[in-house]
Amino acid sequence: MVLRHERGKVTWVDVESPTQEELQGVMHEFNIDSRIEEEIISPTPYPLFIPFTDYLYIVLHFPTALPGGGTKNQEIDFIVSKDFVITARYEVIDPIHNLHKIFEAEELVGLPKGEVKAEVLLERIFRRLYGAIGIEVEETARKLERIERDVFAGKERATVRAISEVGRTLLRFETILTRHEEPLAAFIDELAMPEFFGKSFKEHGTHVRAERDHAANLIASYREVAKELRDTNDSLLATSQNEVMKTLTVVTFIVFPLSLIASLFQMNVPGTPLTGDPNAFWVILGSMLAVSAILGFFTIKRGWL
């Protein structure tokens, strides 16, 4: 599917899951090198930037969180010239889809009134993409708030997996955005050269960098929150386990002497005290209760319970 928006002398062509004929038609219309067509057809595992004489080609991956947990990379290929911007992708990417809806609404009411420059269009696309990452990160932050409430509500064990999943999502986001840094900087610097947009693009490039940096800083800050929350949860878990071990130790401390007393009087050997005494059971039971009371008092006195 090929979607097209024309704003004065500038054209934005968005190619979504194209057939070979559709892709070849766009490449032929704008006189794009056949090597780019090959790159678009096959997935590119890492960001890529290739400058050409009349246009620039860059491949970037944008992370998105999956509803069931985890993340995935969404690849977008950009071909940018003074007169056109081409984006190519093989799946629905919500920020791009929403931007099309906005453009369609603007075109219905006759906006914008003046001529739109390619650099303005490009900045708008990138800010929409990086802004969407920020929104997803804020959604992840709300999960951290819910996890924090569970941690301090005594659900430490139940939150271990949830914290790990959030941390993994933020790590993937951070890794992908870090990979943007070098190719995006080279791309922006090249667009600011006289043969492309010149000095007029510097402000737009600064805005694009700022959006990426804002998303990256947001991710880094929430990763720190997740790390602190994990450490707190681990500490609470350790404290809870220590309390359990302490209780079991105290119980063993009290029960062991009673078991020893019972074992001593079970020995069937000559000279065993109270053998044949009709009150032996009650004497032994009383002794065990007395020892239990003494040990219990000692335990409470020492603050072990």
| Domain final position from 222, 239, 256 | 239
Q: Do 59 and 86 form a contact (C-beta atoms < 8 A)?
A: no
User: Of 21-25, 140-144, 271-275, where does mean pLDDT reach its minimum?
Assistant: 271-275
Q: Is the predicted pLDDT of residue 106 greater than 70, yes or no?
A: yes
User: Of 14-28, 77-91, 98-112, 136-150, where does mean pLDDT reach its minimum?
Assistant: 98-112
Same-domain pairing of 56 and 121: yes
The reported pLDDT for the residue numbered 146 is 87
Higher pLDDT pick, 238 / 218? 218
Q: Do 140 and 110 form a contact (C-beta atoms < 8 A)?
A: no
| Domain final position from 239, 266, 281 | 239
The reported pLDDT for the residue numbered 60 is 92
Distance CA 176, CA 180 (A): 7
The per-residue pLDDT for range 37-83, each reduced to its tens digit, is 888 888 888 898 988 888 899 999 998 888 777 788 888 999 888 88
Q: Do 193 and 115 form a contact (C-beta atoms < 8 A)?
A: no
Total number of domains constituting the chain = 2
Same-domain pairing of 208 and 148: yes
| Domain final position from 208, 239, 270 | 239
Same-domain pairing of 216 and 182: yes
**Mean pLDDT of the residues in the chain:** 82
Same-domain pairing of 170 and 123: yes
Distance CA 259, CA 249 (A): 15
User: What is the pTM assigned to this prediction?
Assistant: 0.74
Q: Is the predicted pLDDT of residue 113 greater than 60, yes or no?
A: no
Same-domain pairing of 19 and 65: yes
Q: Which helix (H) or strand (E) holds 14?
A: strand 10-16
Going from the C-alpha of 75 to that of each of 40, 119, 292, the distances in angstroms are 10, 21, 71
Same-domain pairing of 50 and 182: yes
Same-domain pairing of 202 and 69: yes
The reported pLDDT for the residue numbered 271 is 66
Two structure tokens written together for 113: 């009134």
The per-residue pLDDT for range 239-279, each reduced to its tens digit, is 677 767 777 777 777 777 778 777 777 776 676 676 666 77
Q: Which band of pLDDT confidence, cut at 50, 70 and 90, is reported for residue 102?
A: confident
Distance CA 116, CA 119 (A): 9
Percent of the chain scoring above 90 in pLDDT: 5
- Distance in Å from the first CA to the final CA of the chain: 71
Going from the C-alpha of 73 to that of each of 94, 250, 254, 273, the distances in angstroms are 13, 54, 60, 80
* Sheet with 84-89, edge to edge strand ranges: 2-7, 10-16, 84-89, 71-80, 56-65, 48-51
Q: Which helix (H) or strand (E) holds 239?
A: helix 201-266
The per-residue pLDDT for range 179-196, each reduced to its tens digit, is 998 999 999 988 888 888
Same-domain pairing of 217 and 275: no
Same-domain pairing of 66 and 109: yes
**281 is in which domain, residue-wise?**
246-301
The CATH number of the domain holding residue 20 is: 3.30.460.20
Same-domain pairing of 104 and 40: yes
Q: How many CB atoms lie within 10 A of CB 218?
A: 21
Two structure tokens written together for 108: 């219905």
Same-domain pairing of 79 and 171: yes
Percent of the chain scoring above 70 in pLDDT: 92
Q: What are phi and psi of 96, to 5 degrees?
A: -70, -45
Higher pLDDT pick, 233 / 86? 86
The per-residue pLDDT for range 197-207, each reduced to its tens digit, is 888 888 888 89
Same-domain pairing of 214 and 257: no
The per-residue pLDDT for range 283-298, each reduced to its tens digit, is 777 877 887 787 777 7
